[in-house]
Structure 1
Amino acid sequence: MNERYAEHKRYLNRLKARKPKKLDEAFEQLHEEVFEEVDCLACANCCKTTSPIFTDTDIERIAKHLRIRPSDLIDRYLHLDEDRHYVLNSSPCTFLGSDNYCSIYEVRPKACREYPHTDRRRMVQILDLTLANTTICPAVATIVDRLQHLVPA
């Protein structure tokens, strides 16, 4: 999906080594700017290709919303991955509708609420994740493209 992956990788690796002071502010600015232009419902690639981590709190909240026991939610939809995190059994997400709307949006996992993680503090610590997300989310690829003009490496 990201045809500029190699360029983005070189750039983000240089940023990681340099640790520019205003990196968080630049990401936050670009996050706001790009998500004013992007309609996530037109894409939903994150929901179609990856699974968030479901915390115990997420599982309890979602189970309550669905009016099932947390153990039933786990049995029906989740499994433990190699890192011992609960993730979805399959892709696309079980809760994603054909219209790209999430049927549990108001109680979705924390990882979904925070995705694509381009508006948080200490971005330098998650530049590897940011690079990976450029292959999933076109908005992240756009943010990194624009970042190169704002924050030289």
Structure 2
Amino acid sequence: MDLIDKWKSQAKAKSKENQNFLKRLKKSRNSKQIDEWVNEADEEAFERIDCLACANCCKTISPVVTTTDVKRIASALRMKTTEVVETYLKVDHEGDYVMNSQPCPFLGSDNYCSIYEHRPKGCRDYPLTHMRGFTQRPALHHKNTLTCPAVFHVVETLKEKMTK
């Protein structure tokens, strides 16, 4: 069973378990070691997962789109920034710009992003498993276990490492 299939069949079933595990991790004094394990699991996951076979993140969530992102996208599309905002974005409940539709309006039927080289920073950074401070974002990582098979793999791998 590949990681995407495993994720689809197990993410919801293990949701509460993963949520509790990630909450407990926040209290860990071993965050440097945890970040190392997370980075290793992240590399392993992305060696085995083809994001183009999944693209669930692009289909179900939106990154925060910064003013800098809007300018970069506008330049790539040869549009005015106001046109990009009016055409593709909305303001969310926190006052941030996000995509106005799901799936992302830039996602093609082949799961390729039409603005990939110019995509928002939030897309570039997703799913945040390659960054330091993994233990400081338990709610976000829990949510991402339900969105991304790589994050699910990272958390499952981390649970194994922590019980050894």
Provide TM-score, normalisation by structure 1. Answer: 0.96
Q: For residues 55-104 of structure 1, what are the alpha-carbon distances to aligned partners after superposition, in whole Å with 9 as ceiling and x for unaligned?
A: 00000000000000000000011011111100011100000000000000
Contact 1:19–1:124 (CA under 8 A) maintained in structure 2: no
Equivalent in the alignment of 1:4: 14
Contact 2:34–2:134 (CA under 8 A) maintained in structure 1: yes
> After TM superposition, what 4+ stretches of structure 1 lie above 6 angstroms from structure 2?
none
**Alignment partners' CA distance in 1, 2:54 and 2:96:** 26
**Unaligned ranges ≥5, structure 1:** none
What fraction of aligned residue pairs are identical, expressed as a percent? Answer: 47
**Alignment partners' CA distance in 2, 1:117 and 1:5:** 19
Provide TM-score, normalisation by structure 2. Answer: 0.90
Kindly provide the amino acid, as one letter, of the partner of residue 20 in structure 2.
R
The root-mean-square deviation of aligned C-alpha atoms, in Å, is 1.3
Contact 1:26–1:151 (CA under 8 A) maintained in structure 2: no
Equivalent in the alignment of 2:68: 57
**Alignment partners' CA distance in 1, 2:149 and 2:74:** 31
Equivalenced residues, count: 153
**Alignment partners' CA distance in 1, 2:106 and 2:159:** 35
Displacement, 1:142? 1.1
Displacement, 1:20? 2.1
Q: For residues 41-67 of structure 1, what are the alpha-carbon distances to aligned partners after superposition, in whole Å with 9 as ceiling and x for unaligned?
A: 001000000011100000000000000
Equivalent in the alignment of 2:5: none
**Alignment partners' CA distance in 2, 1:76 and 1:28:** 37
Equivalent in the alignment of 1:116: 127
1:149 paired with 2:153, answer no
